[in-house]
Structure 1
């Protein structure tokens, strides 16, 4: 593929696929927070104004939803999509209408991740969700499968158009699908399987397809690691040449060179410092200079790495301890703040980020919310 075409694909990828909306500009952002509602006091999804210059925040609204543990925005920012993380028949995905990134909701649309004539546990515990102009895709952890939903002309959630189950056990392992990430040029989708210790690569039909046509096809194992590592979340470098993978159980961060749907290991470096076997999330700073990973269960905190701009390799430069059970975290678009969802401390911790060293400083500003699990930044106020 010609270099100019790769650049165009990369720009389109940044504009069309959304996980945390970190390309938005402006001082006061709309911030959406997903939570667990079971076993706690959370009502569902919360929205705030968050000022990325001074760290101040204001609660806007809350919408009732069941276990909306992971969120994403539509490409135009007028829809919010959320999983409903259950395994008892209530599992699925929601879409909510927004207006100018404010909590002006219409009746939410719900679609189940359980296909017709499904096997037991199908679609169970959806834990990750991504979207573009045509489709919403969920990773279903306990179900060990993937659900693809169509979107109508207004990008409202439609019926499931494809369901992919990984039902063959190998070496006694069972699939646990945890994360779905589109590749920079938009031709492929990478999927982590924590149970089978691998990363799959699917071809992705990014344009609206006729009924019955597979949206994800041509599955291949793009990267496989030793048993017990537990690949969880992926992110790409700013130029799209490298993918970074955090292993939940092994605690290592893996640097992978990416090209045309293929991954090649470059480096493995330990990120977890507590041996808790609970590594969780991974993100790169907006300027691409630093990478961060979250770790739970022992010595809860955020590992900090400097990124070599030429080789893509990592050098560990710090570790910031946090509240209990830091799950998802997000960096403000201007790079000044890193916010950590501390699930078991019932708060979002706000850290100031040094853009030169990458180090984090606790601002002692806490956003109190019950069982926070996901943070998504939308547009400016």
Structure 2
């Protein structure tokens, strides 16, 4: 299939697609659009060889983070803007052809939305500069209703250079349905639930306090839902929690950012739950690798240097590859992954793309 984007056709090193074998899955990438990027890009990715083949693109302003609906037929993508034009977009996605179809957008009423999650009934955005969480009803056709409400974070962290104003960085659905949000400036993880009848978030208080000055950023759960792993941006540490009924109990805090660059970014658990990976940037850019112990705690087993500014990364559903979006080197690096040791090896099959910042695979 020929590319619709001239930029993509010039920039990407494509591999011909001969049919769609079982090893081929769809992959979508979000980019910053300040340097000529279209916005969203669709690929076919071969999970056996680690090669990516471009399909098409869709013009969207700064889709720096997005998520698939549970059935994969819709994508909800932020337009990260630092003003009143910031929106959440609903985009149809054809999993057979890998094509996009814009549906609608709604204002977030919070600047710089940088994260989005959905449970199929509502979508949530974390608005970094707005310091709020916005809630959008999802209509039957997958479009978005207007934002119903915003929940605010607070300022007050000891790092006055970064925590002097409220910031929200992540909003996720816990395995039992609670909503957990990272209060970056308040050094807290907050807990809510959505009351569908009253169309509002119910406040369940603080799920966990984080060490002052940490700047909690991204939170993920283990596959069994018993443990949660927090990546903090400013401290560069991963905090391990046990989880139950909307509350987090700290088990461990372990360094990921050994360069002390204050650039902790993303965190993911391998599909089999055996390893945790965390990206760090600004200095010593790379991925830190942790083995998961029987009690959920972590042991650092290695690190993999990457290209510049590895903000987001993703692991293929079969666990064979880990792809890193290196924003400032305009590339997605493809690493093979040893499932027994967790170690990574560069396949040198980079996908060249302007300012990539979010990678997602079609949900299987």
Partner of 1:159, secondary structure, is coil
Contact kept in structure 1, 2:154 and 2:167, CA below 8 Å: no
Q: Distance in 2 between matches of 1:193 and 1:68?
A: 22
CA distance in 1, matches of 2:96, 2:212: 43
Q: State the Cα deviation string for residues 143-168 of structure 1 (Å, max 9, x = none).
A: 00011111111221121122222367
1:204 is aligned to 194
2:29 counterpart of 1:33: yes
Partner of 2:328, secondary structure, is helix
Q: 1:11 — aligned with what?
A: none
Moved >6 Å (runs of 4+): none
Tell me the CA shift for residue 101 of structure 1: 5.2
Match of 2:265 in 1: 280
In structure 2, how many angstroms separate the alpha carbons of the residues matched to 1:285 and 1:318? 15
Q: What is the CA deviation profile of residues 84-138 of structure 1, one whole-angstrom value per residue up to 9, with x for unaligned ones?
A: 0001222011011122354433343111111xxxxxxxx0000000112211110
Structure 2 CA distance for aligned equivalents of residues 273 and 333 of structure 1: 29
Aligned position for 2:243? 258
TM-score where L is the length of structure 1: 0.86
Paired residues of 1:293 and 1:304 also in contact (CA < 8 A): yes
1:104 aligns with 2:99: yes
Check conservation: 2:66, 2:78, Cα contact below 8 A: yes
In the alignment, is residue 69 of structure 1 matched against residue 64 of structure 2?
A: yes
For the residues of structure 1 that align with 2:275 and 2:153, how far apart are their CA atoms? 35
C-alpha RMSD of the superposition: 1.7
Query: Normalising to structure 2: TM-score of the pair?
Result: 0.90
Aligned-partner SS, 1:160 = coil
Alignment of 1:127-276 (within 5 A): 127-166=114-153, 173-186=164-177, 188-205=178-195, 209-210=196-197, 213-276=198-261
Alignment correspondent of 2:360: 376
Name 2:4's counterpart in structure 1: none
1:117 matched residue in structure 2: none
User: Larger RCO: Structure 1 or Structure 2 (Cα < 8 Å, ≥ 6 residues apart)?
Assistant: 1
Quick check: 1:148–1:163 contact (8 Å CA) kept in 2? Answer: yes
8 Å contact from structure 1 (residues 87, 125) kept in 2? yes
**In the alignment, which residue of structure 1 is the partner of 2:9?**
none
* Matched residue SS, 2:350: strand
Give the Cα separation in 2 of the matches to 1:379 and 1:29: 9
How big is each residue's C-alpha offset from its partner over 1:295-335, in whole Å with a ceiling of 9 and x where there is no partner? 00000000000001x31010000000000000010000000
Contact 1:101 1:379 in 2 (8 A): no
Work out the CA distance in 1 between the residues paired with 2:356 and 2:100. Answer: 21
Q: How many residues align?
A: 340
2:167–2:183 contact (8 Å) kept in structure 1: yes
Whether the 8 Å contact between 2:30 and 2:64 is mirrored in structure 1 is yes
In structure 2, relative to structure 1, the CA distance for the partners of 1:130 and 1:26 (3 Å cut) is: farther
Output the CA distance in 1 between the equivalents of 2:228 and 2:361: 22
- Looking at structure 2, the residues matched to 231 and 379 of structure 1 have their Cα atoms a distance apart, in angstroms, of 27
- Report how far residue 217 of structure 1 moved: 1.1
Distance 2:188 2:363 in 1: 35
- Which whole-Å CA distance do the structure 2 matches of 1:204 and 1:377 have between them? 27
What displacement does 1:266 show? 0.5
- 1:325 paired with 2:321, answer no
Within 1, Cα distance between the matches of 2:287 and 2:107? 34
User: Partners in 2 of 1:319 and 1:244 — Cα distance?
Assistant: 18
Which stretches in structure 1 are left out of the alignment for 5+ residues?
1-24, 115-122
C-alpha contact (below 8 Å) 1:126/1:138 kept by paired residues: yes
**Residue in 2 aligned with 1:334?**
318
In the alignment, the residues of structure 2 paired with residue 44 and residue 253 of structure 1 have an alpha-carbon distance, to the nearest angstrom, of 30
CA contact (8 A) 1:295 1:326 kept: yes
Return the match for 1:297 from 262, 274, 282: 282
SS of alignment partner, residue 344 of structure 1 = helix
